[in-house]
Amino acid sequence: MENIYTKNGLQRVINASGRMTKLGVSTISAGVGEALLDAAGNYVLIDSLFEFAGKRIGELIGAKDACVTNSASAGISLSVASLICGNDITKVHNLYEVINRTQRREVIMLKGHNVDYGAPVAEMVQLAGGRIVEAGFANGSKIEDIAGMVNENTLAILFVKSHHCVQKEMVGAEEVVAFANEKGIPCIIDAAAEEDLGKYIAMGADFVCYSGAKAIQGPTSGFVACKTEELARNMRLQYKGIGRAMKIGKESVMGLVRAIEEYLAGQRADAVGKADMEGFTERIGKVPGCTAALIQDEAGREIYRTKITFDPDVYGWTAKDVVKKLQEGDTAVYTRDYQANLGSIAIDPRPLVNKEELAFIENRIIEIGKEKKN
């Protein structure tokens, strides 16, 4: 099936990996598309639009206010910059001069959270002038590890909620937020792909950074839910400085607002459901050399994927071979391949645009198993 990308000579892609930036994240609804087109065809005072969107998003998710951004990553940077500069426009205009003479810019994060999700999360902090201070160990941490790193130079605590992070033996978000509140330290939550838009702000986090294109399935965008209106105002002020390089267009703002409204109203449903995946899992499990199981998301979200483990002695190919072969040809299939080196891949149903794509993946796995390795 042709689309605007294939018509321009680009490879057709079936995304069975997840809502990943490298694959364009997600697809939008007709309603979001209409909002984008309407907004793109008209003019508006951008400062007023940003204020409206922040208030509307806050109203929808139970936050005092919010700041729209072009991504969750930008949300981290703007949160840190706003804590350094506050509402001082001179500081906003001279951020890097300010940080050269400012000691209070340490951002504490768990060592097991200092990950690369396509770019290093630490880079987003450093871009805004923050200095990363790691707490705990890569294979475990306690609240005492964070407490031991707090000093007069502590600016904030950053908690990353992501499947990329180490999950075992890690102190949870609720305990970290409670500690931050007790000590009067601002707490930033990177919740880019999280599905509950009100959970962390209700916990008491100061800034909660979301992608507008992942769970919400909006345009390329993001927003930061803020504990207070002052925090949101200070964030928006950063668009007069470092935020200029991270600006979001008027059409994406209105598309984001519409996407959040649809998401919270339950108007978007995945084309491939859990029942479809159960049948798929059962059939793939019967392919010689394949073992299949339906598993829940590593970070505990209500997402169920099919994990396929390959026995190369029977199937004829390793999991890493399968990843490579699925990406060849006119139609490339991208799977969740974080554990390919351990012999398995996973099929994520959420980004699939129809059931035919799931059938295509099934057929390709069967075909590859029948091919002879040179």
pLDDT of residue 297: 80
Residue owning tokens 């907004």:
39
Cβ burial, residue 111 (10 Å; 0-12/13-18/19+): middle
Which residues, 6 or more positions from 292, have their beta carbon under 8 angstroms from its beta carbon?
281, 282, 284, 285, 306, 307, 308, 309
Cβ burial, residue 45 (10 Å; 0-12/13-18/19+): exposed
Q: How far apart are CA 294 and CA 42, in angstroms?
A: 47
pLDDT of residue 14: 96
Q: How far apart are CA 13 and CA 48, in angstroms?
A: 38
Return per-residue pLDDT of the chain as tens, 374 residues: 789 999 999 999 999 998 888 888 899 999 999 999 999 999 999 999 999 999 999 999 999 999 999 999 999 999 999 999 999 999 999 999 999 999 999 999 999 888 888 899 999 999 999 999 999 998 889 999 999 999 999 999 999 998 776 777 889 999 999 999 999 999 999 999 999 999 999 999 999 999 999 999 999 999 999 999 999 999 999 999 999 999 999 999 999 999 999 999 988 778 888 899 999 999 999 999 999 999 988 766 778 899 999 999 999 999 999 999 999 989 999 999 989 999 999 999 999 999 999 999 999 999 999 987 65
Domains of the chain: residue spans and CATH: 6-24+269-370 (3.90.1150.180), 30-264 (3.40.640.10)
pLDDT of residue 76: 97
Residue 348 in tokens: 């994520």
* 202 φ, ψ (degrees, to nearest 5): -70, -30
Dihedral class, residue 132 (left if φ above 0, else alpha if ψ from -120 to 50, else beta): beta
| 35-to-29, 66, 198, 218 alpha-carbon distances in Å | 10, 20, 24, 11
Question: Reading across the β-sheet that carries 131-135, which strands appear in turn?
Answer: 65-69, 222-226, 207-211, 187-190, 154-160, 106-110, 131-135
Q: Residue 120: what residue type?
A: P
CA 286 to centroid of chain Cα atoms:
34
Determine contact, residues 171/110, Cβ cutoff 8 Å.
yes
